[in-house]
Amino acid sequence: MKRALSLLACAAWMGSLLGCSRAPVVVPVDSLSYPAFLITGTRPTLFVAHLARVVVDKEDLSKMRSELYSGLSDTEATDPPIVIDAAAKIADMTQIKGAHGGLWMMAHPTGMMPIQFTLIQRKQQGVEEARELIADCEYIGPDLDKERRELRSERIRRATSMEEIVQIVNELPAPNVSAVRQN
């Protein structure tokens, strides 16, 4: 018995020295449920807006505006875009490659470009994690001011399903009552 425990302890110690690590889990794009979210700009030092955008299908996820692609295609970036599907599966979008080069992007600075990418599953999954990632974004849906964005963020934090979060993000903001009263 003592020998078995010694061998187990030795194996655990050797494993910690050698650094047992698992290969990242690749998430096939075809396995995602839609609508999904694409979150960009999670680090404040990056010149990409911290934005949560609803994508309606695989084709929508596989296209990106040129100006957004420029900031996200950096292979040294440590904050890849995050994809959250309707089932609250969460993955990092890595190895982003555009279908066109710099000349096309200069001619179409706001054009939609087809992209290829790999999705790597994150450790944290589920609606609770998705709520926090989306609610923390600086831009959530068609908000027009900070007050309405904060209200939307609070509602997202109380949501109980991904469907409810999608509805909150996609709804048009209520009119700014204080601005209407001043006119």
The pLDDT, as a whole number, for residue 73 is 62
Whether the per-residue pLDDT at 3 is higher than 80: the answer is: no
User: For residue range 156-174, what is the model confidence (pLDDT) as tens digits?
Assistant: 999 999 999 999 998 877 6
What phi and psi values does residue 22 have, to the nearest 5 degrees? -90, 150
Instruction: Please answer whether residues 51 and 139 qualify as being in contact, where contact means their C-beta atoms are separated by less than 8 angstroms.
Output: yes
Alpha-carbon distance values, 60 to 37, 38, 45, 114 (Å): 11, 10, 27, 9
- With a CB cutoff of 8 Å and minimum separation 6, the contacts of 49 are 40, 41, 138, 139
Alpha-carbon distance 96 to 110, whole Å?
Answer: 18
Amino acid at 77: A
User: For residue range 81-113, what is the model confidence (pLDDT) as tens digits?
Assistant: 999 999 999 999 988 888 887 787 778 777 788
Alpha-carbon distance 79 to 87, whole Å?
Answer: 23
